[in-house]
């Protein structure tokens, strides 16, 4: 029952990420899903050298999710893996979340080669990662939605093979734009 519930939750999250990606592209004048969809935005690097790279299954990286998809359109499925460095008490069902923790997203080839596309701190939030274009014959793009206490950011990842990818920041919405009370002489 738990596996079925998690599968349903993963599908709902993937559908939501795909819908968000399509809406952002529509608003920015791009096309629908797929690598040729005209991903507008600025190219970014979300590999922060100050935070460690982990691997699913390592004890300190207690949270992990994965899905298989042909991300580079070579006819072979890769594994898209999302992990967070968070503990889990022995026998516990819940994670020991802090105010923030390092998160990694990587693509693992069948031979075990890993390409990290995201390795950074996520403050007061989480990553929602999905694969858009899951219909046979469609390019399978990766969308990463970073939900943090101060806002959210949507990234599009075009994975082209081991060590080759492009990440574009599609949209960013700050939630906290003003502090109260305003700083003396400042705009707030």
DSSP 28-92: TT--SSSTTS---SEE---B-TTS----TT-TT--EEEEEEE-TTSSSS-EEEEEEE--B--TT-
Residue 177 has what pLDDT? 60
Mean pLDDT of the chain: 81
Closest of 114, 116, 115, 109 to residue 51, by C-alpha: 116
Q: What is the dihedral of CA 43, 105, 24, 124, to 10 degrees?
A: -100
- Per-residue pLDDT of 46-56, as tens digits, reads 999 999 999 99
pLDDT tier for residue 97 given thresholds of 50, 70 and 90: confident
Residue whose token pair is 């920015």? 28
Residue 57 has what pLDDT? 92
CA distance 52 to 119: 7
123 compared with 175, residue with greater pLDDT: 123
Q: How many Å is the Cα radius of gyration of the chain?
A: 18
- Whether the per-residue pLDDT at 33 is higher than 60: the answer is no
pLDDT tier for residue 165 given thresholds of 50, 70 and 90: very high
103 near 76, Cβ under 8 Å? Answer: no
pLDDT above 70 coverage of the chain, percent = 68
In sequence order, which residues have a C-beta less than 8 Å from that of residue 83 and are 6 or more positions away?
Answer: 54, 55, 56, 61, 63, 64, 103, 104, 105
Say whether 111 sits in a helix, a strand or coil: coil
pLDDT tier for residue 34 given thresholds of 50, 70 and 90: very low
23 — phi, psi (to 5°)?
Answer: -65, -40
Mean pLDDT to the nearest integer, 122-140: 80
CA distance 26 to 146: 20
28 compared with 14, residue with greater pLDDT: 14
- Name the range with the highest mean pLDDT among 2-11, 40-49, 131-140: 40-49
Q: What is the dihedral of CA 145, 159, 85, 45, to 10 degrees?
A: -70
Mean pLDDT to the nearest integer, 130-134: 77
CA distance 111 to 77: 11
pTM: 0.75
């Amino acid at each position: 029952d738990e596996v079925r519930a998690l599968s349903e939750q993963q599908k709902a999250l993937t559908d939501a990420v795909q819908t968000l990606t399509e809406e952002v592209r529509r608003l920015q004048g791009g096309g629908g899903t797929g690598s040729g969809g005209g991903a507008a935005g600025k190219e970014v690097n979300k590999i922060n050298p100050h935070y460690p790279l982990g691997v699913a299954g390592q004890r300190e990286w207690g949270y992990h999710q994965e899905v298989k998809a042909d991300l580079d359109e070579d006819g072979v499925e890769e594994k898209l893996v999302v992990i967070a460095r968070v503990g889990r008490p022995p026998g516990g069902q819940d994670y020991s979340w802090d105010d923030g923790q390092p998160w990694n997203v990587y693509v693992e080839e069948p031979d075990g080669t890993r390409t990290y596309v995201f390795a950074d701190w996520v403050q007061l939030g989480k990553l929602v990662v999905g694969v858009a274009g899951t219909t046979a014959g469609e390019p399978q793009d990766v969308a990463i939605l970073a939900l943090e206490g101060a806002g959210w950011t949507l990234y599009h990842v075009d994975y082209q093979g081991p060590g080759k990818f492009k990440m574009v920041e599609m949209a960013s919405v700050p939630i906290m734009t003003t502090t109260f009370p305003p700083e003396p002489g400042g705009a707030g």
